[in-house]
Amino acid sequence: MKQAIQEHSTPESSPPNLVGLDPAIVSFEERVKSSSTVPLRRVSVDTLQVNVGKVSNQACLHCHVEAGPKRTEMMSRQVAERIIELLAESKDTKTLDITGGAPELNENFRWMVEQARALGREVIDRCNLTVFFEEGMEDLPNFLARHQVHVVASLPCYTASNVDAQRGKGSFDKSIRGLQLLNELGYGKADTGLVLDLVYNPGGAFLPPAQAQLEDQYKEELAEHFGIVFNSLFTLTNLPIRRFSDSLSRTGKLGEYMRLLSGNFNAATVPGLMCLSQLSISWDGLIYDCDFNQMLEMESDCSTASGTSILEIESLDEFVSAEIRTAAHCYGCTAGAGSSCGGALSG
């Protein structure tokens, strides 16, 4: 059955830029149903991804959060405390993945890291690297190393021109210096336990290249020119939402990009979709299937749960077996080798 590409969301949470773009594109839900034996229901909550707010020292071109220095949304201490309580009660949730904005600018960031590490959980900091050079952040690299925080740092290219084009003039030099600071503390080096992964996303409306080959190129270039080492490279696809979607719309390329994503649908990526094993929490405590749905205000299916906010529920397990809410932007996760916060989903 063919239908308009918008589906599975309430009117107030519709991804408006994609509605009716191309009626010939099969809905994501239909495509998954016809291609996979895996139902799109959550299997577990291995990872709790927490978006602590939209405040950032940068305003990057492809940021799906539309974060920037002028945003004011920030997670409160009350919400942060409830997250730690739920984490303590949910033994299956092994990882607290903290994102933003620039998450380190939230006044509760360090407290959350300390609490989650004391509970024995892995903590991921999704770091833009340039935040190290903001006032009051001088000791941040040392703090991350002391608590063995897994740093996942965005670096959309290994050349200054491409990085500065996406993230602002001068950001490449600061990012390189940030990586060197992390390396000096042992990040990315064998036997230190300090993991440093990098994130690549395309500089436009195209799919990422093969992850393994690009990782080799990054390692070679960064080592040769800057003496930088890191663990793994994650390739991410730009999802057609918010700032990126708006820029495609303005240049008349949104339909073409949706056809690229849907035309490269890869059923082998479906079992690895991150929404099947994580929950995403917004700065105000609402619960979503992933950070992308969060930005589209598509709240999680709560038919198995006692509420839509972490202030209402008893346990993260209430969302195990819940149906995943999908729409056309989900094609970004299943195109080609697939895409997730941990990189490609299939070789």
Which residues form the interface with ligand SF4 (CB under 6 A)? 273-275, 289-290, 292-293, 324, 326, 329-330, 333
Nearer to ligand SF4, 50 or 74 (CB): 50
Nearer to ligand SF4, 119 or 267 (CB): 267
What SS3 class is residue 345? coil
Nearer to ligand SF4, 290 or 310 (CB): 290
Dmax over Cα atoms in the chain, in whole Å?
56
Minimum distance of ligand SF4 from residue 40's CB (angstroms) = 8
Helical spans, DSSP H, in 37-159: 77-89, 109-118, 140-146
Nearer to ligand SF4, 37 or 161 (CB): 37
Nearer to ligand SF4, 242 or 329 (CB): 329
The residue written with tokens 């773009």 in the block is 21
Q: Please check whether residue 197 is in contact with residue 230, taking contact to mean a CB–CB distance below 8 angstroms.
A: yes
Minimum distance of ligand SF4 from residue 327's CB (angstroms) = 7
The residue written with tokens 């998450």 in the block is 103
Minimum distance of ligand SF4 from residue 16's CB (angstroms) = 16
The residue written with tokens 């916060």 in the block is 341
Nearest to 185 by CA among 247, 156, 143, 219: 143
Minimum distance of ligand SF4 from residue 244's CB (angstroms) = 13
Minimum distance of ligand SF4 from residue 334's CB (angstroms) = 7
For strands 278-281 and 287-288, give the pairing. Answer: antiparallel
Minimum distance of ligand SF4 from residue 64's CB (angstroms) = 10
Give CA–CA dist 106/96, Å, rounded. Answer: 15
Nearer to ligand SF4, 97 or 289 (CB): 289
- Beta strand segments in the chain, E: 47-51, 95-99, 122-127, 150-154, 196-200, 233-235, 278-281, 287-288
Give CA–CA dist 230/127, Å, rounded. Answer: 14
Minimum distance of ligand SF4 from residue 329's CB (angstroms) = 6
Nearest to 231 by CA among 215, 220, 214: 215
Nearer to ligand SF4, 162 or 308 (CB): 308
